[in-house]
């Protein structure tokens, strides 16, 4: 009974792992792709969301704010802002029918999104145009209507119509079949608030003031020449990023256009800082995105301000020093906590900078693709999904 839907999908499952050879599991035939949308239950209708339209963006914002992912103890819920959603879902090359809503009497009750990416898998030869899926959300009041599988099948159909046959996504839950199970870590920036909202807890021997001293940070970053990224840095950041990502088994290759979109600072969305040496040479950069969580029930606070590690490239500055500066910069921007996964080279700084392991894991998935060795280690993952 478990994973009734996922057993019907082209994902490697335990007993056939050895039979499948690396690469696509099913070869798609464009002519066979269904031309009309999947059927919805009565009164439900498909709706392409235009995030540039204020009213429609508000509808998406409210659906996610009230019904999207919560932590395992249901104390926090992600609260993506409209400006963040426009950053995440309107990248260069976006398709207007890949932001899919389901409405009942003009009210948005379901959502799922795709953005076009070219994923490099395991070696330079495999450059696969595919979709990156995110924001699957069904209103709490209409769960168990089997709407989620229909949302997944409909976006799959709309991706197939574009002659793309793979997808990449992440989830906190385990369904068939993760390609990597990464762990998340958090570094306290505002110890007192984290304890007051219940994100962190004190053991018998710990006190709030001890915790504040333990996690205290300098006022200013250490690295000389560190400053917010500007437009003039795009070419150098693109070079640094593409060179660095070749170290991993899963990564995207970025054009200048894409670096402009994904890394130029946007207030309360994405922060990127570069290290500029003599003659304007950029040798390193760090970046983190803003994803607040609503504190579901707390007398004093409504939100937890969280910065999430994005991409960090250290070619001259030691990675620990660069990330120590990331903590200082995030603290100065008003964040309460700094989160990171144990992917890429993050293991090199997590312990030394006093990150604590979170209580869950984030699983990476590749749809319709068999990897050489089924699983990748977290440090082989070179992609960050928001
Ligand atoms: C603190 O508030 C939370 C509100 C909802 C869920 C979680 C736990 C959780 N599930 N965290 C993550 O998935 C996570 C932890 C560290 C880094 N990135 C993460 O998820 C990102 C990437 C995937 N899409 C959601 C945001 C925490």
Query: What pLDDT digit, counting tens, does each position of 252-284 carry?
Result: 999 999 999 999 999 999 999 999 999 999 999
Rounded distance between C-alpha atoms, residue 95 and residue 88, angstroms: 13
Give the residue-averaged pLDDT of 184-211.
Answer: 96
55-79 residue pLDDT tens: 999 999 999 999 999 999 999 999 9
CA-nearest residue, atom 22 of ligand 1: 386
Residue 35 CB coordination number (10 Å) = 6
What number is the average pLDDT over the span 336-364? 97
Is the pLDDT at 353 greater than 80, yes or no?
Answer: yes
pLDDT at 144: 85
pLDDT of 156 reads: 98
Q: What is the pLDDT at residue 17?
A: 59
- Between the CA of 142 and the centroid of ligand 1 the distance, in Å, is 23
Mutational test site, ligand 1, from 68, 73, 184, max ligand atoms within 8 Å of CB: 184
Q: How confident is the model at residue 16 (pLDDT cuts 50, 70, 90)?
A: low
Share of the chain above pLDDT 90, in %: 94
Q: What is the pLDDT of residue 283?
A: 98
- Give the nearest ligand 1 atom to 70 CA: 5
Could you tell me the CA-to-CA distances from 69 to 144, 179, 182, 234, 264 in Å, in that order? 16, 21, 17, 33, 27
Counting ligand 1 atoms within 8 A of each CB, the residue from 311, 356, 360, 378 with the most, and so the one to mutate, is 360
What is the SS3 assignment for the chain?
CCCCCHHHCCCCCHHHCCCCCCECCCCCCHHHCCCCCCCCCCCEEEEECCCCCHHHHHHHHHHHHHHCCECCCCCEEECCCHHHHHHHHCCCCCCHHHEEEEEECCEEEEEEEEEEEEEEECCCCCEEEEEEEEEEEECHHHCCCCHHHHHHHHHHHHHHCCCCCCEEEEECCCCCCCCEEEEEEEEECCHHHHHHCCCCCCCCCCCHHHHHHHCCCCCCCCCCCEEECCHHHHHHHHHHHHHHHCCCCEEECCCHHHHHHHHCCECCCEEEEEEECHHHCEEEEEEEEECCEEECCCCCCCEECEEEECCCEECCCCHHHHHHHHHHHHHHCCCCEEEEECCCCCHHHHCCCCCEEEEEEEEEEEECCECCCCCCCHHHECCCCC
Name the CA dihedral angle for 343, 344, 349, 354, rounded to a multiple of 10 degrees.
-10
CA of 45 to the centre of ligand 1 (A): 30
Nearest CA to ligand 1 atom 12: 362
Q: Tell me the C-alpha distance between 322 and 226, whole Å.
A: 9
Whether the per-residue pLDDT at 89 is higher than 80: the answer is: yes
- Per-residue pLDDT, averaged over 13-34, amounts to 86
Give the mean model confidence (pLDDT) for residues 117-131. 93
Q: 382 C-alpha vs ligand 1 centroid, how far in Å?
A: 17
| Residue range 80-108: mean pLDDT, rounded | 98
Of the candidates 299, 290, 306, the residue with the CA atom closest to the CA atom of residue 199 = 306
The pLDDT of 195-213, averaged and rounded, is 96
Report how far residue 103's alpha carbon sits from residue 108's, in angstroms, rounded to the nearest whole number. Answer: 4
215 Cα: distance to centroid of ligand 1 (angstroms): 22
User: What Rg value do the Cα atoms of the chain yield, rounded?
Assistant: 21
Question: Does pLDDT of 14 surpass 80?
Answer: no
* Strand pairing class (167-171; 127-138): parallel
pLDDT for 123: 80
- Can you tell me the distance from the alpha carbon of 317 to that of 286, in angstroms, rounded to the nearest whole number? 11
Tell me if ipTM is over 0.90.
yes
Report the nearest atom of ligand 1 relative to the CA of 359. Answer: 8
pLDDT confidence bin for 91, thresholds 50/70/90: very high
- Is the pLDDT at 330 greater than 90? The verdict is yes
pLDDT for 3 equals 85
- pLDDT reported for residue 12: 86
% of the chain surpassing 70 pLDDT: 98
Q: What is the pLDDT of residues 98-110, one digit of tens each?
A: 999 999 999 999 9
Residues in the ligand 1 pocket, defined by CB under 6 Å = 69-71, 76-78, 170, 172, 184, 291, 293, 304, 308, 339, 341, 360, 362, 385
What digits encode the pLDDT tens for the residues 281-324?
999 999 999 999 999 999 999 999 999 999 999 999 999 999 99
> Residues 263, 239: contact at Cβ < 8 Å?
no
Above 90 in pLDDT, residue 191?
A: yes
């Amino acid at each position: 009974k478990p994973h009734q839907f996922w057993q019907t999908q082209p994902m490697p499952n335990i007993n056939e792992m050895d039979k499948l050879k690396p690469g696509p599991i099913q070869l798609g035939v464009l002519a066979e792709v269904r031309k009309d949308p999947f059927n919805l239950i009565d009164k439900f209708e498909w709706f392409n969301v235009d995030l540039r339209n204020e009213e429609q963006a508000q509808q998406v914002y409210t659906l996610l704010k009230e019904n999207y992912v919560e932590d395992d103890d249901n104390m926090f819920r992600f609260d993506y802002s409209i400006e963040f959603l426009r950053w995440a879902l309107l990248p260069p090359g976006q398709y207007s029918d890949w932001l899919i809503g389901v409405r009942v009497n003009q009210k948005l009750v379901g959502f799922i999104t795709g953005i076009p990416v070219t994923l490099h898998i395991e070696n330079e030869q495999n450059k696969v145009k595919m979709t990156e899926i995110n924001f699957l959300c069904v209103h709490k009041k209409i769960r168990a209507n089997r709407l989620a599988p229909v949302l997944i099948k409909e976006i799959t159909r709309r991706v197939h119509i574009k002659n793309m046959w793979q997808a990449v996504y992440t989830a906190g839950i385990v369904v068939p079949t993760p390609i990597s199970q990464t762990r998340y870590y958090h570094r306290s920036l505002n110890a007192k608030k984290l304890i007051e909202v219940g994100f962190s807890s004190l053991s018998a021997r710990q006190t709030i003031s001890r915790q504040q001293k333990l996690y205290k940070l300098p006022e200013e970053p250490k690295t000389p020449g560190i400053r917010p990224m500007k437009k003039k840095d795009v070419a150098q950041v693109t070079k640094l990023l593409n060179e660095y990502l070749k170290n991993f088994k899963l990564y995207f290759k970025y054009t200048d256009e894409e670096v402009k979109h994904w890394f130029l600072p946007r207030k309360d969305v994405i922060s990127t800082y570069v290290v500029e040496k003599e003659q304007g040479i950029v040798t390193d950069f760090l970046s983190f995105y803003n994803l607040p969580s609503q504190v579901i029930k707390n007398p004093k606070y409504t939100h937890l301000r969280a910065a999430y590690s994005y991409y960090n490239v250290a070619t001259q500055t030691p990675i620990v020093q660069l990330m120590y500066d990331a903590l200082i910069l995030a603290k100065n921007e008003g964040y309460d906590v700094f989160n990171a996964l144990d992917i890429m080279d993050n293991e090199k700084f997590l312990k030394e900078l006093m990150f604590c392991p979170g209580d869950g894991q984030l699983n990476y998935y590749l749809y319709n693709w068999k990897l050489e060795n089924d699983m990748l280690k977290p440090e082989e993952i070179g992609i960050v999904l928001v």
